[in-house]
C-alpha cells in the first residue's frame, strides 16, 4: 500500500476510534451490536467492501441493519458479487479489522492483507459499493461512516440506494454484476411479473374466485410493510392488508415481527379477535424472514406456520412440477437428465418437517444456523431449497437446470404447447425469477406462497395440516461469555465446556421424544436453547431444565 493510500486511511480512521473494552465479532450475518458501538466497525467495513470490490472486479453491497434485533441495536451485512453473504474466507480479516485499536496497526493490517490477497490497490479502475439501510434512526450516521470508509480507498465509489429491505439490496448487487436491470423498480417489476405469470398458469378448473380472500401482513414496524404496499399495486387482484408498517406509531420489532411471532407463538400487536380464521403473515425488521400464522379463537395465541412449513409447501410444489416434466418410458427419445432436488435445514427444523420431507423421497441435509451455510449447501443441487424454521430461506436454481428448463420450454412450446408438461416448465422458470436467488426474501417468499396456495386451492388450514409439528420451545439465556460454548455436528452437540453435553443428554433422556440442543447466538449476546418433546408441557419443562444447566455452567447463577 503506497504512502498516499496509507495517509488517506489514517486520516479517515482518525474520526472513527473503536470503542474501548469491547470485542466485536463477525457473527451469523455480519456485525451486530448496540448502535452506539458500531461507528468505527461500519467505517472499517466500508474499507473492506472497497477492497473486496477491487479484488473481485465486481459491485459489493453494504446493508446497515440489525434485522430482528431491538431498535437500539444496529449492524452491517455485506453482499458479495453473487448477491450472497461475504465469502467466509474474508471473515477473519473482518474480525481483525473491527478490533484493532491503534490506527497505525490498522494501516499495517490492511497493507498486509492487500499484499497477501494481491489486491491491486495502486491501479484501481473502479470499485463500486451499493449502500442500503433499514428504518433504524441510527442508520443515518452509520451510513455516513460507511461512506467515509469507502472513500478512504482511492478510486472507490458508492451509490446510496436509500431505505431498502436487505434482500432488495442483495438482489440489486447480484443483478448489477450479471449485467441485468437492477433498480428497485426492476425488482418490483420482476417479482410482480413472475407472480402474475404463475397465476395465469393455474388450470382453469382450479381457478376459483378469491375476491374476499385476504392475507394480512405484519411488517414488524419496519421497511418490509412499506415495500409490500408498493408491490401489492403491481400484483393484480392479490388482496393484501399491511399492518405495522414503519409509518405507524409502533417500535421496530417490539411485540411484532417474524422473530417475535415465531419465538413467542403469540399474536403480534395490531392483530386480534377479528383476525381469527384469516391467513396472516409476519416479516422481520429487514424483511428477510417470513412466517405465516393463524390467530387462535382466544385471540392471544397463534398456530404458527413457520419456515419449515413454507419449505414443505415449496418442496411439494417444485417436486410436483419436476414429476410432471418427467418423460414417460414410452416417449422417445427419453430425456436422460433428472435435476437433483435437495433440501437444506438446520437443527431448529421441527422433527416432523424433516420426516415429512424425507417421506416425499427428498434428500434432506442439515447445516449450522446462518444463511451463509444453508445457501452454500443448497447451491450444490440443481434445485436447492433451504429454510430456517425462523422463516429465512429461498430456492436456488443452478445454471444447468435453468438452461434445461429453457430448452424444455422451447421444445414443448412447439410440440405440445399448453400441456401440463409445458406449463410445469413455465412454472419453474417463473419461480426462478420470482424467488430471490441471492438470499431469503420475505416479499418474494410471500408472493410464491400466495401463488402456490392459489394453484393448489389450499387454505392456510389445509397447508398447515401437511404434518403436525412436534411441540417445541426456544429460550434465551444470558451468560458471562457466550463464546465459551463450542458446538459440532451442525450445532447438535456441545464440545465445550466439558460436561455440559452429558448433562443435557441426561435431562433430555427423561422426556418422551425428547430432543434438545444449545448454541451461542451470532446476532445477540445470549445462548439459545431449543427443545422438542411429546407434549408442550414436557417440552417447556425440558427447555427450562436445560436453560438452568446453561446458567449453572456459564451464567450468572440467577436461576439457582
Ligand atoms: C440472521 C441470520 C439467520 C439466523 C438468525 C439468527 O437472521 O441471517 O440465518 O437464523 O440471524 O441467528 P442467531 O441464532 O445466531 O442469533 P437476521 O434475520 O437476524 O439477519
Residue 289 alpha carbon, nearest atom of ligand 1: 18
- Our answer on whether the CB atom of 528 is closer than 6 Å to any ligand 1 atom is yes
Q: Which residues pair with 386 in a beta bridge?
A: 344, 394
Per residue in 409-461, pLDDT (tens digit) is 998 888 777 889 999 999 999 999 999 999 999 999 999 999 999 999 999 99
Grid cell listed for 448? 410464491
User: For residues 108 and 105, what is the distance between their CA atoms, to the nearest angstrom?
Assistant: 5
Per residue in 268-297, pLDDT (tens digit) is 999 999 999 999 999 999 999 999 999 999
Domain range annotation of the chain: 3-163, 200-306, 308-441+451-464, 472-554
| Contacts for 42 with CB less than 8 Å, ≥ 6 apart | 31, 64, 76, 142, 145, 146, 149
**Ligand 1 mean position to 79 CA, how many Å?**
15
Does ipTM surpass 0.90 in this model? yes
Mean pLDDT (the chain, rounded): 94
- Judge whether 308-441+451-464 and 472-554 match in fold: no
- Our answer on whether the CB atom of 441 is closer than 6 Å to any ligand 1 atom is no
Grid cell listed for 28? 451469523
- Our answer on whether the CB atom of 67 is closer than 6 Å to any ligand 1 atom is yes
Q: Hey, whose CA ends up nearest to atom 1 of ligand 1?
A: 29
- Our answer on whether the CB atom of 28 is closer than 6 Å to any ligand 1 atom is yes
Per cent of the chain over pLDDT 90 is 90
The CATH-assigned architecture of domain 3-163 is: 3-Layer(aba) Sandwich (3.40)
Task: List, as one string, the DSSP characters of 379-424.
Answer: TTSSEEEEE-TTS-EEEEE-HHHHHHHHHHHHHHHHHSTTSHHHHH
Maximum Cα interatomic distance, the chain, rounded to a whole number of Å: 74
The CATH-assigned architecture of domain 308-441+451-464 is: 3-Layer(aba) Sandwich (3.40)
**CATH code at 472-554:** 3.30.310.50
**Ligand 1 mean position to 37 CA, how many Å?**
20
**Ligand 1 mean position to 179 CA, how many Å?**
30
Peptide bond into 323 cis (omega under 30): no
Give pLDDT < 50 ranges for the chain: 560
Asked if 66 and 136 count as a contact pair (C-beta separation under 8 A), the reply is yes
- Our answer on whether the CB atom of 139 is closer than 6 Å to any ligand 1 atom is no
SS3 track for 299-366: CCEEEEECHHHHHHHHHHHHHHHHHHHCCCCCCCCCCCCCCCEEEEECCCCCHHHHHHHHHCCCEEEE
- Look at the domain 200-306 and name its fold: Alpha-D-Glucose-1,6-Bisphosphate; Chain A, domain 3 (3.40.120)
Q: How far apart, in Å, are the Cα atoms of 509 and each of 201, 503, 505, 506, 514?
A: 50, 10, 6, 5, 7
Closest by CA to 475, choosing from 404, 375, 559, is: 559
**Ligand 1 mean position to 236 CA, how many Å?**
33
Residue 288 alpha carbon, nearest atom of ligand 1: 18
Q: How far apart, in Å, are the Cα atoms of 244 and each of 43, 123, 221?
A: 32, 48, 5
Give the per-residue pLDDT at 451: 96
- Our answer on whether the CB atom of 392 is closer than 6 Å to any ligand 1 atom is yes
Q: Hey, whose CA ends up nearest to atom 3 of ligand 1?
A: 370
Residue 523 alpha carbon, nearest atom of ligand 1: 16
Give the per-residue pLDDT at 277: 93
**Ligand 1 mean position to 317 CA, how many Å?**
26
| Residues assigned a catalytic role | 67
Q: Hey, whose CA ends up nearest to atom 9 of ligand 1?
A: 370
Amino acid at each position: 500500500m503506497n504512502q498516499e493510500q496509507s495517509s488517506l486511511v489514517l486520516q479517515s480512521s482518525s474520526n472513527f476510534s473503536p470503542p474501548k473494552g469491547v470485542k466485536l465479532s463477525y457473527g451469523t450475518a455480519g456485525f451486530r451490536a448496540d448502535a452506539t458501538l458500531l461507528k468505527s466497525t461500519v467505517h472499517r467495513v466500508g474499507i473492506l467492501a472497497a477492497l473486496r470490490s477491487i479484488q473481485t472486479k465486481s459491485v459489493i453491497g453494504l446493508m446497515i441493519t440489525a434485522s430482528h434485533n431491538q431498535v437500539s441495536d444496529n449492524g452491517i451485512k455485506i453482499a458479495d458479487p453473487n448477491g450472497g453473504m461475504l465469502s467466509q474466507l474474508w471473515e477473519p480479516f473482518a474480525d481483525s479489522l473491527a478490533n484493532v485499536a491503534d490506527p497505525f496497526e490498522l494501516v499495517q493490517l490492511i497493507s498486509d492483507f492487500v499484499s497477501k490477497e494481491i489486491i491491486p490497490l495502486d491501479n484501481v479502475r473502479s470499485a463500486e459499493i451499493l449502500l442500503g439501510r433499514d428504518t433504524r434512526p441510527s442508520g443515518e450516521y452509520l451510513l455516513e461512516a460507511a461512506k467515509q470508509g469507502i472513500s478512504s480507498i482511492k478510486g472507490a465509489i458508492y451509490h446510496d440506494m436509500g431505505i431498502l429491505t436487505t434482500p432488495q439490496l442483495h438482489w440489486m448487487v447480484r443483478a448489477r454484476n450479471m449485467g441485468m436491470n437492477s433498480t428497485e423498480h426492476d425488482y418490483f417489476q420482476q417479482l410482480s411479473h413472475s407472480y402474475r405469470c404463475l397465476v395465469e398458469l393455474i388450470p382453469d378448473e382450479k381457478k376459483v374466485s378469491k375476491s374476499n380472500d385476504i392475507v394480512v401482513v405484519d411488517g414488524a414496524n419496519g421497511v418490509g410493510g412499506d415495500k409490500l404496499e408498493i408491490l401489492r399495486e403491481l400484483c393484480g387482484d392479490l388482496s393484501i392488508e399491511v399492518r405495522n408498517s414503519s409509518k405507524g406509531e409502533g417500535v421496530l420489532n417490539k411485540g411484532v415481527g417474524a422473530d417475535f411471532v415465531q419465538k413467542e407463538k403469540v399474536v403480534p400487536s395490531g392483530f386480534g379477535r377479528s383476525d381469527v380464521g384469516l391467513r396472516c403473515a409476519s416479516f422481520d425488521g429487514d424483511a428477510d424472514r417470513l412466517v405465516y400464522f393463524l390467530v387462535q379463537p382466544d385471540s392471544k395465541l397463534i398456530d404458527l406456520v413457520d419456515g419449515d412449513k413454507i419449505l414443505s409447501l415449496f418442496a411439494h410444489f417444485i417436486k410436483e412440477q419436476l414429476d410432471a416434466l418427467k418423460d414417460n418410458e414410452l416417449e422417445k427419445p427419453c430425456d436422460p437428465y433428472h435435476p437433483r432436488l435437495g433440501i437444506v435445514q438446520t437443527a431448529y427444523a421441527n422433527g416432523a418437517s424433516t420426516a415429512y420431507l424425507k417421506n416425499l423421497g427428498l434428500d434432506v441435509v442439515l447445516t449450522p444456523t446462518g444463511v451463509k451455510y444453508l445457501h452454500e449447501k443448497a447451491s450444490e443441487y440443481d434445485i436447492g431449497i433451504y429454510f430456517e424454521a425462523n422463516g429465512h430461506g429461498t430456492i436456488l436454481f443452478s445454471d444447468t437446470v435453468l438452461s434445461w428448463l429453457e430448452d424444455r420450454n422451447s421444445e414443448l412450446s412447439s410440440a405440445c404447447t399448453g400441456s401440463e408438461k409445458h406449463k410445469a416448465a413455465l412454472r419453474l422458470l417463473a419461480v426462478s425469477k420470482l424467488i430471490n436467488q441471492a438470499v431469503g426474501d420475505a416479499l418474494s417468499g410471500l408472493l410464491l406462497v400466495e401463488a402456490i396456495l392459489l394453484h393448489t386451492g389450499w387454505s392456510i388450514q389445509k397447508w398447515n395440516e401437511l404434518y403436525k409439528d412436534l411441540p417445541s420451545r426456544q429460550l434465551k439465556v444470558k451468560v458471562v461469555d457466550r463464546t465459551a460454548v463450542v458446538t459440532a455436528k451442525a450445532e447438535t452437540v456441545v464440545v465445550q465446556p466439558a460436561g455440559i453435553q452429558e448433562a443435557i443428554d441426561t435431562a433430555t433422556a427423561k422426556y418422551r421424544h425428547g430432543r434438545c440442543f444449545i448454541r451461542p447466538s451470532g446476532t445477540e449476546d445470549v445462548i439459545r436453547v431449543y427443545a422438542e418433546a411429546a407434549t408442550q408441557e414436557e417440552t417447556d419443562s425440558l427447555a427450562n431444565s436445560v436453560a438452568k444447566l446453561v446458567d449453572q455452567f456459564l451464567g450468572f447463577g440467577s436461576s439457582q
